[in-house]
């Protein structure tokens, strides 16, 4: 539905909505939804109810890229005085990606996305490059945008079920053999539990360009990853990003800003939720209007 915060909405009785429960979104952690709601509460306490959950989500997405950290583990017990304090960002080793300006002013959507709409708009990991380009072209994404956004897989993990069809019953010919054997060890065919692996084997905790190096070495996890290097339309873009990290950062920022402006609600459209997981009640909507009117009055002084 665009960048309207609909994915934050829970279903009836506080359960997942059709959008949250659709297969492409099952990897979204419940802790992440709680973090966004905590951020909303803090922002609204400071500013009043004038900032949407959609804007908070867009800014949080940017900050999660710019402020990615590598956790440091000590091999032996250390006195507390030697531990790194995580509340001082200048002392904490940063390994983040690009920082970019996020246009603001979105309103939150009033409707939940259906399961069908979610599946139609989020290409699966089994998609080929041709399918990706076809699906995203109507949203004004060109091949460079598609390859840059795919670079988000430089961090994060994947469930085995998202790629094991490339391993069993036979190995995908585009996958490096050693890489495939390592994946089989982590994701045995008869496993009762759907395990997880890092999406970028070279630097899983860094937001960098090593994802594209993986692709050049036939170590892309998903079909939708590896096919970007196989397909002649995107192979040169992958190579360019693998060679030039600054270029990747630049194009990733452009594509993220573009994605954050898809079908946004502004002005009197939608609402500003008082809780990111549910739509406002009638009473809350009246209070919201009163707050907005007070803000306009105060702005005149």
CA distance 277 to 168: 39
6 assigned binding-site residue: yes
Burial 29-67 (b: 16+ CB within 10 A, else e): eeeebeebbebbeebbeeeebebbbbbbbbbbbbeebee
19 assigned binding-site residue: yes
208 assigned binding-site residue: yes
161 assigned binding-site residue: no
Q: Residues 260-264: contacts with CB within 8 Å, 24+ apart?
A: 260/3, 260/58, 260/61, 260/102, 260/103, 261/3, 261/103, 262/2, 262/3, 262/139, 263/1, 263/2, 263/3, 263/4, 264/2, 264/3, 264/4, 264/54, 264/105, 264/106, 264/107
Tokens representing 197? 């692996």
2 assigned binding-site residue: yes
DSSP label at residue 222: S
CA distance 47 to 280: 18
CA distance 289 to 268: 10
CA distance 21 to 26: 6
Residue 289 to residues 51, 96, 301, Cα–Cα distance (Å):
13, 39, 19
Residue 296 to residues 104, 239, 269, 292, 299, Cα–Cα distance (Å):
18, 51, 18, 6, 5
- Binding-site members are 2, 4, 6, 19, 123, 153-154, 200, 208
- Binding-site members for Ca(2+) are 2, 4, 6, 19, 154, 200, 208
- Binding-site members for heme b are 153
């Amino acid at each position: 539905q665009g960048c309207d915060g609909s994915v934050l909405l829970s279903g009836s009785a506080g359960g997942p909505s059709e959008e949250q429960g659709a297969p492409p979104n099952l990897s979204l952690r419940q802790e992440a939804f709680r973090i966004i709601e905590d951020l909303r509460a803090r922002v609204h306490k400071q500013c009043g109810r004038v900032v949407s959950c959609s804007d908070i989500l867009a800014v949080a997405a940017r900050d999660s890229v710019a402020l990615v950290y590598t956790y440091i583990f000590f091999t032996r017990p250390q006195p507390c005085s030697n531990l790194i304090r995580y509340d001082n960002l200048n002392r904490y080793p940063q390994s983040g990606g690009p920082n970019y300006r996020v246009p603001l002013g979105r309103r939150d959507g009033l409707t939940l996305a259906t399961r069908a709409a979610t599946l139609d708009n989020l290409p699966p990991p089994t998609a080929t490059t041709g399918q990706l380009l076809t699906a995203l072209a109507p949203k004004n994404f060109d091949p460079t945008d598609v390859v840059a956004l795919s670079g988000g897989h430089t961090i994060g993990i994947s469930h085995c079920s998202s790629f094991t069809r490339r391993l069993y019953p036979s190995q995908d010919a585009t996958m490096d053999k050693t890489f495939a054997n390592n994946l089989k060890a982590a994701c045995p065919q008869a496993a009762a539990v759907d395990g997880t692996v890092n999406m970028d084997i070279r630097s899983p905790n860094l937001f960098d360009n090593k994802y594209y190096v993986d692709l050049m070495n036939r170590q892309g996890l998903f079909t939708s990853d590896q096919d970007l290097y196989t397909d002649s339309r995107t192979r040169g873009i992958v190579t360019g990003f693998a060679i030039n990290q600054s270029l990747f950062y630049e194009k990733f920022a452009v594509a993220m800003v573009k994605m954050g402006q898809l079908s946004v609600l502004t002005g009197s459209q939608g609402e500003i939720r008082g809780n990111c997981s549910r739509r406002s009640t009638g009473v809350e909507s009246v209070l919201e209007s009163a707050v907005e009117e007070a803000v306009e009055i105060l702005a005149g002084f």
